[in-house]
Amino acid sequence: SLSKEKVAHLWENLGMQQMRISRFMKDRVMVSQDDSEEMTGEVEPLLLNSLFKTNFWRENSLFDFSRKEEEETLEISVFYAYDLEKNEPVCAVSYPRNCLDPVMYLNFEDYYGIENGYIVKSKGFTDDEEKELFESEPDLHYIRLLDRDSAWIDAYKMYDFKEFLPGKSIITFHKERCQEENIWVYSYRDPLLALKDEEAWLQGVKKHGTYSFEKFDQARQGFGAVVLESDLDLPPEYVYKAYVKSREIEMVMEHYRYGVGYDLFCMEDDVTVFANEFCNFLCALLTCRLINEFDDVDCLTKYSYGEIMTVLAKAKKFSTDSIHWKLIEMEEEEIDLLKDLGLHSDF
């Protein structure tokens, strides 16, 4: 059996292979860009984002104090790139938390050879940081979420949704150009999300006894709505897909934020952090590929990702003789799911 000491030693040896890990990431970027160029005739952009991880245990040189948080907590920044067509992460790297985001995005893009990137963030940089970053890097652009109280929403009537997104979607959208700032604003309304937002809002005001029709009438304009800003004139369906998929990969990366468990290993040196982040990246990559496979056979419309994984963990076969194997007793609905995934047949 593997003891904690043996696993920690394995982790340390893995982290010492940082050169190979970097080469692996760079090769993935090159393959992604070559594939997109072969398919479309040009290098399609990779989506760029970052997340933060709090260090609850020991210090190392990557963890540093956040400059933006009121409470002094040691954190690390993880920057990653995402292929929108393949729906999977391409590469990732760790930086100290107190580094400036614009500087790190440029370093990240240059180090891995990313020729074209769109930063997709829930929060933007300051105006000065943003202006300096995008003026210095013409191939770097952004798509970011606007606050609900943004003046542009009222100024350009972004809650007046004009038409449906192309395809089978029932999501409506509105697109406007802000001439003064030379940017484009995109708004979308998902009716299914609107029902959830309305229910959550009503539950909140009922709990606090603050309901009034005037407040409700004002709030419901934003139910199910998301407003995005970009420095590029892009197809509305592309902007929405970039935003939705960036949220999905962020959730996957968040799921493996502490996937290994720093409390199990000695995290006093950088190599164990590199090993942890590399394994978290591989877990996120495999998860995205599983989600893609489930989506291809239309399983995610009937089951959640967690429900599918529970059924897969339960599905086992036992040997009836030296040749034949038999599936354990399972519910008919679970067997139908296995058939949809091509993992079981009646023959």
DSSP per-residue string spanning 168-225: S---EEEEEEETTTTEEEEEEE-HHHHHHHHHHHHHHHHHHT---HHHHHHHGGGTTE
pLDDT tens-digit profile of 79-122?
A: 899 999 999 999 998 887 666 567 788 888 888 999 888 988 75
Residues 257-269, mean pLDDT to the nearest whole number: 53
Q: What is the pLDDT of residues 221-252, one digit of tens each?
A: 899 999 999 989 999 999 999 999 988 888 88
pLDDT class for 262, splitting at 50, 70, 90? very low
158 secondary structure, DSSP code: T
Say how far apart CA 63 and CA 48 lie, in whole Å: 21
Q: From its phi and psi, is residue 21 left (phi > 0), alpha (psi between -120 and 50) or beta?
A: alpha
Question: Residue 194 carries which side chain, given as an amino acid letter?
Answer: A
Q: Average pLDDT, whole number, for the chain?
A: 83
Predicted pLDDT of residue 11: 78
Kindly state the average pLDDT of the residues 273-283. Answer: 86
Phi, psi (rounded to 5 degrees) for 191: -65, -30
Cα 194 to Cα 172: distance, rounded to the nearest angstrom: 12
Cα angle vertex 319, ends 317, 322, to 5°?
Answer: 145
Predicted pLDDT of residue 169: 81
pLDDT of residue 75: 74
Structure tokens at 188: 């979308």
pLDDT level of residue 277 (50, 70, 90 thresholds): confident
Write down the pLDDT at residue 148.
85
pLDDT the model gives residue 160: 93
Burial of 86 (0-12, 13-18, 19+ CB in 10 A): middle
What pLDDT is attached to residue 100? 59
Instruction: Give residue 291's pLDDT band: very low, low, confident or very high (50, 70, 90).
Output: very high
pLDDT of residue 263: 46
**What percentage of the chain carries pLDDT values higher than 70?**
85
So what's the pLDDT on residue 8?
77
Alpha-helical segments (H) within the chain:
4-15, 18-40, 101-111, 127-136, 151-155, 191-208, 213-219, 236-255, 270-296, 305-314, 332-340
* Token pair listed for 154: 């009222």
Residue that the structure tokens 């920690």 belong to: 8
Of the ranges 109-123, 174-188, 199-213, which one carries the lowest mean pLDDT score? 109-123
pLDDT recorded at residue 51: 83
Tens of pLDDT, residues 35-73: 998 888 888 899 998 887 765 555 566 655 554 555 556
Q: What is the pLDDT at residue 266?
A: 52
More confident residue, 126 or 298: 298
Q: What does the alpha-carbon distance between residue 323 and residue 139 come to, in Å, rounded to a whole number? A: 59
